[in-house]
Amino acid sequence: MDECEAYARGKNADIPFCMGVVFRLKSIGISHEQILCAAILSQTRASFDEIFERFGREMAVMTTSIMRDYTLSKKKQEETYVEQLKQAPWESVLVKLCEISANLKVIKESELSRTKRSKLLKQNIHYLNILKKNIAENRDKALGLNKLLEGANETISHFGHRPIKFE
């Protein structure tokens, strides 16, 4: 994991945020080093080829399936990203879910403008809705997942949105 963190630092990733995602993964019983590393590497904006070259194919697939392709136009980028999320392996979905949980904590605790907070909240709710079928099908694979989902829904409800049903 140290190599992943060093690589992420070199790519100017937000290491405290990465560690928050790793903490959430560990809190739901995930200890597999590749999944924890994917949480860190997914914040780097590295390409598939860069990750493949340094960490191998499995890590590149796991990581880039939940990363945006910033070489595309914004519209195409979002379309591609949504498709990637729909097809992402379960391990990547766990990472993305913990990333969303970390984002929701930032949204709840920070002094963002109402407009910025609303935009970020809606974006994270959108991604949770994309992932909810995969989460519902696999939710028994991670022991603490229900608590994480409850926390996400608590924050969503706090801002006046309906909770998401993961059924």
139 pLDDT tier (thresholds 50, 70, 90): confident
Q: Give the position of tokens 């690589």.
A: 7
| Angle formed at CA 94 by CA 89 and CA 97, multiple of 5 degrees | 120
Q: What is the DSSP secondary-structure string of 76-115?
A: HHHHHHHHHHHH--HHHHHHHHHHHHHHHHHHHHS---HH
- Judged against a pLDDT cut of 90, whether residue 128 lies above it is answered with yes
| Nearby residues of 158 by Cβ (< 8 Å), 6 or more positions away | 108
Of 80, 49, 48, nearest to 63 by C-alpha is 48
Question: How confident is the model at residue 40, as a pLDDT?
Answer: 97
The whole-angstrom separation of Cα 24 and Cα 27 is: 5
Answer positive or negative: Cα dihedral of 140, 154, 33, 11. positive
Whole-number CA gyration radius for the chain: 15
Question: How confident is the model at residue 143, as a pLDDT?
Answer: 86
99 pLDDT tier (thresholds 50, 70, 90): very high
- Please indicate, yes or no, whether the overall pTM of this predicted structure exceeds 0.75: yes
Domains annotated for the chain, with CATH where assigned, are: 2-158 (1.10.3210.10)
Dihedral (Cα; 30, 31, 34, 35), 10-degree rounding: 20
